[in-house]
Structure 1
Amino acid sequence: MSQKVLITGGTGLIGTRLAEMLIDAGYEVALLSRTPSQSRYRSFRWDPQHGTIDEAAVRYADHIINLAGSSVSEGKWTEERKRDIMTSRLGGTGLLVRELAKGGHHVRTFLSASAIGIYGDSADRVVTEETPPAPADDFLADVAHQWELAVQPVTDMGIRTVIVRIGIVLSTQGGALPPMARPIKLMAGAALGSGKQYMSWIHLDDVCRLFMQALEEPEWRGVYNAVAPNPVTNQEFTEALAEVMHRPLVLPKVPAFGLKLVLGEMSEIILASQRVSATKVLNTGFQFEYPDLKPALKSFYGEE
């Protein structure tokens, strides 16, 4: 009997790749979706905004992977957008908690996404899973913290729960990399802000492999940082990307005020410095396919 995995946010950047990898590894996969017909996987309907969910969904699953949340990197952070970023996460997680509390299911594992944004801007200080969340006036930190608190009831039910604090995911399909690569391709690349801020990145395949290992190995419990073991400064990142793309870096640094003008508060994602430790994940025996930045970037842009 193959094990059944229910994924929320299964059409997002990580969910799409993770579903493929789970199928390849012999799992059955179903998605929770607001628009169920649009995928090649079995899907169950839910609507976190209105608090509705197909009762068969949670009963289907041996494992739940909770990735659903409105993207933080698309569109300016208007008040409405910020509300959506927060409620899409809390609403979906709350629905799953409500269903799990009813019992009559066989869910053994609950994996839930969070983000390294929880640490706020920590300059060049190394932060670990033990580091307390940044104050709530930091929007991204507050979102991640609230999201993690929403998962606590699952742990209290005795279900093995793993929270994965995801770093900057590298992929050409979305996330931070395409907008950083675009100006470099056009010979207009530059470091952003001071260039000294740390970026804790992870290759898309590694984050998916990490989720799979957390699913398969019962000793994973609690909070883990999903970041490669070698974070780099924004300046180093930009230089490595230009080198891999065989383009010169011609511009001086893009000043922080310019980024704030274009991106508004969302510039925090790029300007905050986060030097996040991967030690806890490495101690589980997990091996990164891409522990270093340049090979990770070459996997996407090496043939250009």
Structure 2
Amino acid sequence: MTMTTLVFCVLALQTMMGGFDNLWHHELHARLPQRASARYELRLHSMREAIYGVLYFAFAWIQLQGWWAVLVAALLMIEMVITVADFLEEDKSRKLPPFERALHTVLTVSYGLLIGLLAPMLWAAAQMPTELVFTYHGFWSWFCTLASVGVLTWSARNAIAVWHMGKAVEPEAAHSTPQVIGASTVLVTGGTGFVGSALVRQLQREGRRVIVLSRDPLQARASFGHSVWVTERLNDIPSETRIDAIVHLAGANILGGPWTKSRRQTLLQSRLNITRDLMALIERLERKPEVLIAASAVGYYGTVHGNARIDESAASDPGRFQSDLCAAIEREAQRAEPLGTRVVCVRPGIVLGADGGALPPQAFAARLGLGAIIGSGEQAMPWIHLDDLVGLICHAMSEPVLHGPLNAVAPGIASQAAFARTLASVHRMPVWMKMPAGVLRTLLGEMSELLLDGQNVVPAKAMASGYRFRHSSLRKALEATASAERSEVAPA
């Protein structure tokens, strides 16, 4: 193996590990492009990816000599400085999981090996007359070209995200409402999640004092600023603290994988353990919270009701995991009632929002013309826009008449087929695909019920208590999220 081939092999290893790190950790888990607090980190990523894009293309087709070789060495040194700054920013802004830290260590070692191999080659090239000489390395030229296009595209996407974050921060800073001294205090679990972050920002706009329970306090503080009290443990909250309301949203994502035995245990314990900790907190607080709002789901009703209209008085479906999970959450939350705290169990349908939840992957498929009717398509698909879910939670905090279950769904119920067609038409695409029910049941097991067996849920209590939905029309709700998506990714 020649020295040049060895350099390309190490470069390819660095490329694949870096691409995996970007996709798995930055995109899927940390969701950096959707987090305003990640603006500086994304800027560093964009700069580093731009450097890689230029170097990949140069290595693919050009032999760099003289001062051009010195320029390459300078770019490699700049990349090292950017990477060190990125490591420092990550330690400041978010809590890295062990696997990501281990991968970064391997990437650092691999980069050091790459520099060690390139250094004598660049030194020799620097002694030659300054010129650019066309060269061809067969497979490696095309591999590096593909890598160059990929990282430059990623660099541009991150740069656009940073630019939009800057535009979004300016009006928010200009019109933010200072927190009112003596205003009600709300404790939010799961405050950095899709729904939780939107709720915390709304509470901040209302001038409320907010406490966020988070496993990643660095991310929470970076996201919400120093006006939010971030804690990793409920035990760290003193008993004399005044907490007027608790909103419990924490829990593992129910769509994170098939419902294996271990997965079911994770879903259950991730919710119940924190709920029990909340009960312990309420018991020792000198002044009990006025209300506890716990997130359940329309899955409480299971599949036993068919297409009958379901209000909050309908029974659960024992023996169905989705129903048993919701019933266990609500049963644990109801323990706060004897302590003097009003309990509301919010049961959301599919939450529509541009920044997370189940809609973005469906919208992406629809834009590609890959929207599909699932099973018969006649199953009801209860939904609610993120704005209305946040609005209903705030409404439940301030309405003493609300107790027990609260269906958090829009009044405009739709079938799955109608939902798929409306989503596709919003993106000016047809729906021509059908997904047989048998395929989903084979692939997903009981989890396929979330897609194949809908619940025709109505927001009876919300309407009776006077809540007015901002998005009661499915088409308008989907158009609003599509507009928000476009404003996030397209230059103005």
Q: TM-score, normalised by structure 1?
A: 0.93
Q: How far has the Cα of 1:106 moved from its partner? A: 4.2
Q: Which moved more, 1:152-161 or 1:263-272?
A: 263-272
Give yes or no for contact 1:58–1:105 (8 Å, CA) kept in 2: yes
What do residues 27-70 of structure 1 show as CA deviations (whole Å, max 9, x unaligned)?
11110122323213321112xxxxx7324388352211111111
2:257 to 49, 53, 75: 75
Larger RCO (CA within 8 A; separation ≥ 6): 1
What do residues 67-101 of structure 1 show as CA deviations (whole Å, max 9, x unaligned)?
11111012222221111100111111011111212
Q: How far has the Cα of 1:174 moved from its partner? A: 2.1
Q: How far has the Cα of 1:102 moved from its partner? A: 2.2
Distance 1:179 1:191 in 2: 15
Distance 1:59 1:211 in 2: 22
Give yes or no for contact 1:120–1:134 (8 Å, CA) kept in 2: yes
Q: How far has the Cα of 1:109 moved from its partner? A: 1.6
Q: How far has the Cα of 1:168 moved from its partner? A: 1.1
Give yes or no for contact 1:58–1:96 (8 Å, CA) kept in 2: no
Q: Which moved more, 1:174-183 or 1:236-245?
A: 174-183
The question of 1:45 aligning with 2:232 is answered yes
The question of 1:6 aligning with 2:187 is answered yes
Q: How far has the Cα of 1:188 moved from its partner? A: 1.9
Partner of 2:209: 28
2:286 to 91, 100, 104: 104
1:277 to 438, 441, 458: 458
Distance 1:106 1:300 in 2: 38
Query: Which secondary structure does the structure 2 equivalent of 1:75 belong to?
Result: coil
Distance 2:262 2:249 in 1: 21
The question of 1:124 aligning with 2:307 is answered yes
What do residues 144-177 of structure 1 show as CA deviations (whole Å, max 9, x unaligned)?
0000000121011121221111111111222221
Q: Which moved more, 1:96-105 or 1:161-170?
A: 96-105
Distance 1:185 1:263 in 2: 25
Distance 1:134 1:175 in 2: 25
Give yes or no for contact 1:244–1:297 (8 Å, CA) kept in 2: yes
Q: How far has the Cα of 1:183 moved from its partner? A: 2.1
Greater share of helix: 2
Q: Which moved more, 1:280-289 or 1:31-40?
A: 31-40
In the superposition, relative to structure 1, how do residues 105 and 283 fare at CA in structure 2: closer, same or farther (>3 Å)? same
Q: How far has the Cα of 1:238 moved from its partner? A: 0.4
Q: How far has the Cα of 1:202 moved from its partner? A: 0.3
Partner of 1:255: 436
Greater share of strand: 1
Give yes or no for contact 1:200–1:231 (8 Å, CA) kept in 2: yes
Give yes or no for contact 2:196–2:249 (8 Å, CA) kept in 1: yes
Q: Which moved more, 1:30-39 or 1:62-71?
A: 30-39
Query: Which secondary structure does the structure 2 equivalent of 1:126 belong to?
Result: coil
Return the letter of the residue paired with 1:282.
M
Return the letter of the residue paired with 1:18.
L
In the superposition, relative to structure 1, how do residues 57 and 275 fare at CA in structure 2: closer, same or farther (>3 Å)? farther
The root-mean-square deviation of aligned C-alpha atoms, in Å, is 1.7
Structure 2: gaps spanning 5 or more residues: 1-181, 222-227, 487-492
Partner of 1:268: 449
Query: Which secondary structure does the structure 2 equivalent of 1:127 belong to?
Result: coil
Distance 1:113 1:59 in 2: 23
What do residues 124-151 of structure 1 show as CA deviations (whole Å, max 9, x unaligned)?
111111111111x211100000000001
Kindly report which structure 2 residues correspond to 1:59-98, keeping only aligned pairs within 5 A, or say none. 59-98=241-280
Distance 2:240 2:472 in 1: 35
Give yes or no for contact 2:187–2:245 (8 Å, CA) kept in 1: yes
Size of the aligned set, in residue pairs, is 297
Distance 1:152 1:2 in 2: 26
Quick one: percent identity of the two aligned structures? 37
Give yes or no for contact 1:167–1:202 (8 Å, CA) kept in 2: yes
Distance 2:245 2:468 in 1: 23
In the superposition, relative to structure 1, how do residues 302 and 173 fare at CA in structure 2: closer, same or farther (>3 Å)? closer
Distance 1:91 1:242 in 2: 40
Query: Which secondary structure does the structure 2 equivalent of 1:39 belong to?
Result: helix
Larger Rg: 2
Distance 1:217 1:123 in 2: 31
In the superposition, relative to structure 1, how do residues 150 and 55 fare at CA in structure 2: closer, same or farther (>3 Å)? same
The question of 1:289 aligning with 2:476 is answered no
Distance 1:57 1:173 in 2: 36
The question of 1:222 aligning with 2:404 is answered yes
